[in-house]
Structure 1
Amino acid sequence: MIFAPDTEVALRSVVNLVNTLDPDGGEKLATRADLDEFLARERFTGSRTHDDGELASVRTLRSRLRTLWDATEDEAVDLVNAILRESRALPQLVKHDEWDWHLHATSPEAPLADRVGTEAAMAVVDVIRSGELERLRVCAAEDCEAVLIDLSKNRSKRYCDTGNCANRAHVRAYRERKAAS
Structure 2
Amino acid sequence: MVGVHLAVALVNLESTDSWLPETLEEALQEHQIRRPHVTEPASEQIRAWTKRMRPVFEASSKADRCQSVNALLADGAGSVYLTTHDDLRPHLHFAPDGRDLQSRVKAVTAGGLAIFTMEAEGERLSVCALSSCRTAFVDTSRNGRRAYCSARCANTDAVRRHRRRPR
> What TM-score do you get using the length of structure 1 for normalisation?
0.75
Match of 1:28 in 2: 18
Q: CA deviation at 1:99?
A: 3.7
Q: CA deviation at 1:169?
A: 2.8
One of 153, 157, 161 as aligned partner of 1:169? 157
Counterpart AA for 1:10: G
Q: CA deviation at 1:142?
A: 2.6
Match of 2:137 in 1: 148
Distance in structure 2 (CA, Å) of the matches to 1:113 and 1:166: 35
Which shifted more, 85-94 or 32-41?
85-94
Give the count of matched residue pairs.
166
1:114 and 2:103 matched: yes
1:84 and 2:77 matched: no
Match of 2:118 in 1: 129
Distance in structure 2 (CA, Å) of the matches to 1:81 and 1:142: 28
Q: CA deviation at 1:75?
A: 4.4
Secondary structure, counterpart of 2:89 in structure 1: strand
Secondary structure, counterpart of 1:20 in structure 2: helix
One of 12, 22, 26 as aligned partner of 1:19? 12
Structure 2: stretches of 5+ with no match in the other structure: none
Aligned residues with identical type, % of pairs: 27
Q: CA deviation at 1:170?
A: 4.1
Match of 1:4 in 2: none
Q: CA deviation at 1:132?
A: 2.4
- Does the C-alpha gap of structure 1 residues 159 and 110 become closer, same or farther in structure 2, counting only changes over 3 Å? same
Contact 1:47-1:111 within 8 A present in 2 as well: no
- Does the C-alpha gap of structure 1 residues 88 and 123 become closer, same or farther in structure 2, counting only changes over 3 Å? closer
Structure 1: stretches of 5+ with no match in the other structure: 1-7
Which shifted more, 87-96 or 31-40?
87-96
> What TM-score do you get using the length of structure 2 for normalisation?
0.80
